[in-house]
Structure 1
């Protein structure tokens, strides 16, 4: 081998070993922990971003770090189902003027006291309102505009039964029975068909309150009219009084009754009572008489049972005005007595209630 060939062979070997070294794969160097944390963070951020874009495209809103929780109130029991066929329908009103709060699911019964002027309805209503769970809102249809047509009547009743009628008697949140007083001559008889339909549809219970002795009622009406004109108590007319002294002042007046009109008047009053009972016989109702309530206070327990509210002692500040026998309270008693003798109203001359 010549010298030149030997040098050329050596260069080839050197080249071979150089290339061999360069082809060796060296182990990777370990990366510091900080670098790995940065890489992981970048991957997580990228993943969150990609997920949010996908959710938005599908119409699902996503707000990082924000969790929305909707609190759904449990519904109250079905208000239109009564456990007892004789029990009043219960309701769960949702007033617009306030919230019932913890009493939201306290069941409420609807009622209306159907009566005639000077039949003890004012006294009876104060007894009911002394109950912590009963709200009777007075003679609301004494205002003519509220009874001008059936639409006004139903709108007024809706407001009462929704617990949005504000009065001194309103118990608001924890009312368990709500109603009002309604005189027969305040649009009740004129619109009786629509009102009966409303009562049956809304589950309103009717409480009838009448006087057995219509002659005594007539005396009370005439005496009340006299005081309305004369205002005997310090220039103020009072239909009801809270002291015996005031009652004595009003009881001094002895009305004169027209003997020619007394029987037709009693007939008209009697017919109104019979018609009202006939018109509303399809409603859930109870019939009470003033004399029975005065003579037997346990009758009030029947009323509370009828309304399905707890039995509590009921009280009233009303003081009775006319306590004497009728013969001492009518100016022309002999004429009235002779007129009613032998008629179906003769018992009014003698029957009375305890003082």
Structure 2
């Protein structure tokens, strides 16, 4: 596998600077790059490429701000939320090339030579539709993957419904906020308690479960680390694991994001009894303990 990766990497390496970093072990060389941006020079700065693969309302926004608080990481947001960029494989690879060549300009980009460069990519944003071609691209370019998933899919479902409600009602002074930075704003958004359609609930949980499982299988041959939102929240040593995975120096990471739903799950669902009756005795019963 490693030999094949070295071979397929040769074409891409020819586009990079002819640099060598003596501190990089031979087994890591497929994952270390020396890009040549069009707008500035990197002077043989070793760069690692990564992608955060996740699902909506799984904590990826919060997680990405944590990573971006590291001085050596530049994660450029949900680039493929724009449909034209994922319209076909060519559009996807051209977008990725621009990103990993360090020519991507965005508010999140540090636009300087950083040790790790990546993006946040939702599984339903063309990723699974073209997963074979994208996996081949990741393999060819030596991209490492960070999966961020959610164990409790019922909590995720509540967050999706609440976010959709705010998108329509714009509760904060007529503005929709998918993420907030103040406790008062979070408390306003948390007041909404969705009524869940229990007839569709199990099918929705199965669909989400399958999407995550398909993502893990579809990219199983790519160097990756799998994280769960709940584990990162409760155990910040998981962030150290991520920095080790990216071969970056350990430092304290921070985010201004404020968690919206902080109470027991039963306190955030209007028809809790119906939901409880629906999930009791099923494979999703444990979600009720959230």
How far apart in 1 are the matches of 2:188 and 2:28?
45
How far apart in 2 are the matches of 1:182 and 1:291?
19
Q: Is residue 94 of structure 1 aligned with residue 94 of structure 2?
A: no
Q: Is residue 171 of structure 1 aligned with residue 126 of structure 2?
A: no
Secondary structure of 2:112's counterpart equals helix
Q: Does structure 1 conserve the Cα–Cα contact (< 8 Å) formed by 2:194 and 2:270?
A: yes
For residues 272-351 of structure 1, the aligned pairs below 5 Å read 272-350=211-289
- After TM superposition, which residue ranges in structure 1, 4 or more long, deviate above 6 angstroms? none
Using the TM superposition, give the Cα deviation of residue 166 of structure 1 relative to its aligned residue in structure 2, in angstroms.
1.1
Residue in structure 2 matched with residue 256 of structure 1 by the alignment: 195
| 1:251-276 Cα deviation digits (max 9, x unpaired) | 00000000111000000100011111
Q: Does structure 2 conserve the Cα–Cα contact (< 8 Å) formed by 1:196 and 1:283?
A: yes
Q: Does structure 2 conserve the Cα–Cα contact (< 8 Å) formed by 1:255 and 1:330?
A: yes
Q: Is residue 77 of structure 1 aligned with residue 20 of structure 2?
A: yes
Q: Is residue 159 of structure 1 aligned with residue 102 of structure 2?
A: no
Secondary structure of 2:157's counterpart equals helix
Unaligned runs of 5+ in 2: 1-16
TM-score by length of 2: 0.91
Secondary structure of 2:198's counterpart equals coil
Secondary structure of 2:273's counterpart equals helix
Unaligned runs of 5+ in 1: 1-73
| 1:232-286 Cα deviation digits (max 9, x unpaired) | 0000000000000000000000000001110000001000111110000000000
Secondary structure of 1:286's counterpart equals strand
TM-score by length of 1: 0.75
Q: 1:247 to 1:220 in 2, by over 3 A?
A: same
Using the TM superposition, give the Cα deviation of residue 171 of structure 1 relative to its aligned residue in structure 2, in angstroms.
2.5
Q: How many residues align?
A: 274
Q: Quick check: which has more Rg, 1 or 2?
A: 1
Residue in structure 1 matched with residue 60 of structure 2 by the alignment: 121
Q: Does structure 1 conserve the Cα–Cα contact (< 8 Å) formed by 2:146 and 2:225?
A: yes
**Which structure ranks higher in relative contact order (CA pairs < 8 Å, sequence separation ≥ 6)?**
2
How far apart in 2 are the matches of 1:330 and 1:91?
48
How far apart in 1 are the matches of 2:149 and 2:35?
30
How far apart in 1 are the matches of 2:215 and 2:207?
12
Using the TM superposition, give the Cα deviation of residue 168 of structure 1 relative to its aligned residue in structure 2, in angstroms.
2.3
Residue in structure 2 matched with residue 31 of structure 1 by the alignment: none
RMSD in angstroms over aligned alpha carbons?
1.6
